[in-house]
Amino acid sequence: MQHLSINTIKSWERFYRANFINCLSGFKSANLIGTVNKDGQPNLAVFSSVVHLGSDPALVGFINRPLAAAPHTIKNIEATGVYTINHINLSFVEKAHQTSAKYPVEVNEFEAVGLGEQYIDPIIAPFVAESLLKYALTLVEIVPIRYNNTFLVIGSVTDVILNETLIEVDGFIDIEKANSLSCLGVDAYYKPTQLTRYGYAKPNSFEYDSSAIKLTESINKIS
Amino acid sequence: MQHLSINTIKSWERFYRANFINCLSGFKSANLIGTVNKDGQPNLAVFSSVVHLGSDPALVGFINRPLAAAPHTIKNIEATGVYTINHINLSFVEKAHQTSAKYPVEVNEFEAVGLGEQYIDPIIAPFVAESLLKYALTLVEIVPIRYNNTFLVIGSVTDVILNETLIEVDGFIDIEKANSLSCLGVDAYYKPTQLTRYGYAKPNSFEYDSSAIKLTESINKIS
């Protein structure tokens, strides 16, 4: 195992370093966020930073980069208070990634990349027609992250659109069946396959055998 | 496709609803966070909300649930300013999930679940010996999310420990080769397989054929 200090990492070429740091946080959720500005002009952009904040109330967050780099989505959400999050499915991943290109503000990314623009009354923000799991949110708060000029955008889920055959008996959604994807770094996409569901963990319901301790002791010695 | 309003979802049984809402945000990164309290007592806990905040400076965030539900990790980070994030690999996923059980504060989860506690001088927080990609952070800011009493904990990466064969020629880290996992909802784990890397998208480097438009028009009609 290699030990890299941040000073070493800082000395690397800018794009090499960005690829490396972007991978540290691990596999991410691959989504398209749909918005309109106050004149109804649509915008669609790929986001990999969607994060669950709580289930009651149902809150979902995402990180918006600094305004200079990524102004459209956050400005539209501020202006209208409404947006959609659409899972990227295997069938349209290439088009979805293409929305990350820097199109001028007057370009409708739905048209530019060839994805269907779907409106579900009374939600004014567009959904991605092809997405098999998507939801609408109203803006709760935009939290500025002062340290690097990014923003945590917090929304409250108002509507969920999905094929109900995806919902399992305990409410779990089988997004693998919808071919929802994961992503990594700035440009890699992944198809996850379920290993297992472990259920709710309790302190007394788990036993590990002592061979595990011997194993970790050996690893500690060699690392 | 089914359209579910939040009022319908709110009427569901609590655990069914929590499973459902937890899946909306999609695939997540599966990590263990290692800390110590001011007396050096270790804590290890699974977190699925790690999020990339920026690469220069290298900032990573995670969501900590309300203090009443999950006090140990955040209190230790506040007390010491240092913590580790360790990718969960296939070889120890069951032990990793078990750290989510509510052990009393005096229990060392490394010992309780049988994972190796590794210290790398001068970092006072413990790493998971078995993890093939892990990093240390210093606390930058704890941002309270007032709407539901959760917290965004922001850390600055100081050290990265990994097998250097994971690093590709452009800095991208092949975490699939390390068997890093993804998770979904509160208890499901996934093994992601890479589809492709698309590279940096530019407005003029993409062409879609008109059959795509016809397809989305048909989908709009039936949905």
Sequence spans of domains, chain B = 6-197
In 3D space, the residue among B4, B26, B71, B59 whose CA is nearest the CA of residue B183 turns out to be B26
Per-residue confidence (pLDDT) for residue A57, from 0 to 100: 96
What are the tens digits of pLDDT across the range A45-58?
999 999 999 999 99
As a whole number of angstroms, the distance between CA A22 and CA A110 comes to 27
pLDDT at position B43 is 97
Nearest CB to A172; choose among B6, B19, B181:
B19
Q: Do B24 and A213 touch (CB under 8 A)?
A: no
Interior CA angle at A51 toward A45 and A54, to 5°?
A: 135
Which residues in chain B have Cβ-Cβ distances shorter than 8 Å to A213? 114
Nearest Cα neighbor of B161 from A5, A18, A21 is A5
pLDDT on residue A221:
41
Given a contact cutoff of 8 angstroms between Cβ atoms, the answer to whether A214 and A51 are in contact is no
Q: What are the residue ranges in chain B where pLDDT is below 50?
A: 209-223
Instruction: Give the model's pLDDT for residue A217.
Output: 41
Q: What is the b/e burial string over B60-92, where b = at least 16 CB atoms within 10 angstroms of the residue's CB? A: bbbbbbeeeebebbbbbbeebebbbbbbbbeeb
Q: Name the nearest CA neighbour of A196 among B130, B85, B50, B97.
A: B97
**DSSP bridge pairs for B167:** B173
Nearest to B3 among A3, A120, A194 (CB): A120
Q: Would you identify the CATH topology of the domain A26-222?
A: Pnp Oxidase; Chain A (2.30.110)
| H runs (alpha helix) in chain A | 6-10, 14-24, 72-80, 93-98, 109-113, 211-222
The per-residue pLDDT of chain A, averaged, comes to 92
- Chain B residue with CA closest to A159: the answer is B5
Q: Which of B19, B101, B205 sits opposite A201 (nearest CB)?
A: B101
Decide yes or no: CATH 2.30.110.10 for domain B6-197: yes
Residue range A131-142: mean pLDDT, rounded = 98
Degrees to nearest 5, angle at CA A2 with B84 and A190: 70
Of residues B119, B52, B78, the one with CA closest to residue A183: B52
Span A25-38, average pLDDT: 98
* Tokens found for residue A209: 């055998």
Place of tokens 């800095």: B171
Residues β-bridged to residue A183: A28, A189
Interface test with B, best of A17, A21, A119 (most B CBs within 10 A): A21
Q: Is the preceding omega at residue B57 within 30 degrees of 0, hence cis?
A: yes
Contact A59, A53 (CB under 8 A): yes
Instruction: Report CB contact under 8 Å: B188, A172.
Output: yes
Amino acid A170: pLDDT: 97
**How far is Cα B130 from Cα B114, in angstroms, rounded to an integer?**
11
For the cut 90, the answer to whether the pLDDT of residue A91 exceeds it is yes
Which run of H or E residues covers position B184? strand B182-184
pLDDT of res. A206: 81
More confident residue, A204 or B196: B196
pLDDT-derived band of residue A199, with 50, 70 and 90 as boundaries? confident
pLDDT tens digits along A152-189:
999 999 999 999 999 999 999 999 999 999 999 999 99
Which residue in chain A has the smallest CA separation from B199?
A187
Distance from CA of B22 to the nearest CA of A (A): 7
Give the per-residue pLDDT at B210. 42
- Please give the pLDDT value at position A208: 61
Tokens matching residue B66: 């309300």
